[in-house]
């Protein structure tokens, strides 16, 4: 089973000025400074105050952890050499998008000309995880089932409580910003790969999109790679959190595939219902009450996490990621990134101190 479910991870980091603790549009300095070691792994994103770091194709979670650790170490060192810092976090606590420069590349210029301030204001940072799939037909079947679990995974990642200097009252405000984009959110159910492809072809044919990468759902069968891509999560601070989320995603894909191989399925719920859980997860994170649609009751998140981990238990050892998956209980104990950011703010009353904390947490466990 192991060989199919490869892992690729993309992390979007904030580039932070050492003096002001604000975001700073210096991605070129970081890419230039890191190109000797990181040239294949660092990429521009729409805003120049963000740098995207991506792994290669990893065969298992141990390899992914090793690669992420090495890459993060080099990225942090490069930032330090430029008198900058990098941090995880789904949003910056006080930076204003109006002061952040858009990257001058055709792709981003086109998005801005198409979407105006919706694109300019999209100053958010996510974690994207690709898991290898046997083929695209199976990918669509997995996508249909996986939609149910998206809020459960998302709650663990919530890490954006602040926006432009305000405590938003959300554990993940990032998704509330991103929802302004078209073709976002939990995907619809597709009866077949053919139906999915027809949808994409219609959008391309009518000039709505130029290719399927302009479909920004929380989960998508990737248009160009043999992967299913999770896009719902906020960018975590600690490396352990990224690895934990990726391991859970890999296990879910493997488990759903295994059920299909045994001709077993999982009940499908309408997107209208799934969106209710996504909203609750965005609002309250791991403290949310999520809806158990089978029982028609609201249940503490911790109970549903327990159920989720039981659901994947029989593939965890096959994929050799028990330790990584079990880290979810550390997140429950210490709080998600949002809970911890809010704790620092409560203690200090300072958003600059929150940024300091985000930087420290991002460097946690990385031997510089």
DSSP string, 108-149: HHHHHHHHTHHHHT----EEEEEEE-S-HHHHHHHHHHHGGG
**Rounded to 5, what percent of the chain is helix, strand, coil?**
50, 15, 35
Q: Across-strand partners of 7? A: 58, 131
- Catalogue all structural domains in the chain, each as residue range(s) with its CATH number: 7-363 (3.30.590.20)
Distance CA 58, CA 41 (A): 13
Indicate the SS3 state at residue 268. coil
Instruction: Determine the Cα–Cα distance for residues 136 and 139; give it in Å rounded to an integer.
Output: 5
Strands (E), 140-260: 162-163, 166-167, 184-185, 216-217, 219-221, 227-234
**H-run or E-run covering 50:** strand 50-54
Cα–Cα dist 62/35, whole Å:
25
pLDDT value of position 2: 45
107, 110, 116, 120 alpha-carbon torsion, rounded to 10°: 10
Helix (H, G, I), strand (E, B) or coil at 68: helix
Q: Which residues contact 163 (CB under 8 A, 6 or more apart)?
A: 91, 173, 177
Q: Do residues 214 and 199 lie in contact, with contact meaning Cβ atoms separated by under 8 Å? A: no
Q: What does pTM read for this prediction?
A: 0.95
**Grouped pLDDT means (10 residues each) for the chain, 368 residues:** 82 94 86 78 81 94 96 94 95 88 80 83 93 95 96 98 97 93 92 93 91 89 91 98 98 96 88 96 98 93 97 97 98 98 98 97 92
Tally Cβ neighbours within 10 Å of residue 368.
9
Rounded-to-integer distance, Cα 227 and Cα 135, Å: 8
**CB contact set of 176 (below 8 Å; sequence gap of 6+):** 168, 170, 282
**Nearest 5 degrees, angle CA 283-CA 284-CA 288?**
125
Q: Is the distance from CB of 286 to CB of 158 less than 8 angstroms?
A: yes
* Other CB atoms within 10 A of residue 350 CB: 14
The candidate with the shortest Cα–Cα distance to 226, out of 6, 25, 1, 3, is 6
HSE of 3, CA atoms in CB hemisphere, 13 A: 0
**Cβ neighbours around 216 below 10 Å, total:** 14
- Reduced to 3 states (helix: H, G, I; strand: E, B; else coil), residue 48 is coil
Q: What's the pLDDT at 36? A: 74
CA separation for the pair 45, 255 (Å, rounded): 33
Residue 309 CB contacts under 8 Å (≥ 6 apart), including other chains = 325, 328
What is the pairing mode between strands 126-132 and 7-17?
antiparallel
């Amino acid at each position: 089973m192991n060989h199919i479910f490869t892992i690729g991870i993309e992390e979007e980091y904030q580039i932070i000025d050492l003096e002001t603790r604000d975001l700073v549009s210096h991605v070129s300095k970081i890419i230039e400074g890191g190109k000797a070691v990181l040239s294949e792994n660092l990429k521009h994103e729409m805003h120049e105050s963000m740098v995207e770091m991506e792994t290669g194709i990893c065969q298992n979670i141990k390899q992914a952890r090793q690669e992420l650790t090495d890459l993060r170490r080099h990225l942090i060192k490069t930032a330090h050499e430029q008198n900058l810092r990098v941090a995880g976090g789904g949003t910056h606590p006080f930076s204003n998008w109006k002061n952040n420069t858009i990257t001058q590349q055709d792709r981003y210029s086109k998005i801005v000309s198409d979407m105006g301030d919706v694109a300019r204001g999209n100053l958010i940072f996510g974690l994207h995880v690709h898991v290898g799939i046997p083929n695209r037909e199976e990918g669509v079947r997995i996508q249909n089932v996986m939609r149910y679990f998206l809020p459960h995974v998302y709650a663990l990642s919530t890490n954006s409580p602040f926006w432009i200097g305000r405590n938003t009252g959300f554990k993940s405000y990032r998704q509330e910003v991103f929802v302004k984009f078209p073709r976002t959110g939990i995907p619809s159910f597709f009866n077949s790969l053919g139906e999915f492809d027809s949808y994409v072809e219609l959008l391309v044919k009518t000039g709505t999109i130029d290719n399927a990468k302009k479909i920004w759902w929380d989960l998508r069968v990737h248009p160009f790679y043999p992967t299913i891509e999770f896009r719902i999560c906020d960018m975590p601070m600690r490396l352990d959190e990224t690895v934990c989320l990726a391991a859970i995603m890999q296990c879910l894909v493997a488990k759903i595939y295994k059920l299909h191989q045994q001709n077993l399925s999982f009940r499908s719920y309408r997107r209208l219902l799934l969106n209710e859980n996504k909203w609750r997860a965005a609002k309250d994170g791991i403290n949310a009450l999520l809806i158990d649609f089978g029982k028609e009751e609201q249940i503490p998140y911790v109970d549903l996490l327990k159920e989720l981990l039981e659901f994947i238990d029989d593939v965890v050892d096959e994929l050799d990621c028990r330790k990584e998956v079990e880290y979810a209980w550390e997140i429950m104990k210490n709080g998600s990134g949002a809970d911890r950011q809010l704790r620092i703010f409560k203690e200090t009353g300072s958003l600059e101190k929150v940024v300091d904390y985000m930087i420290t947490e991002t460097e946690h466990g990385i031997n510089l």
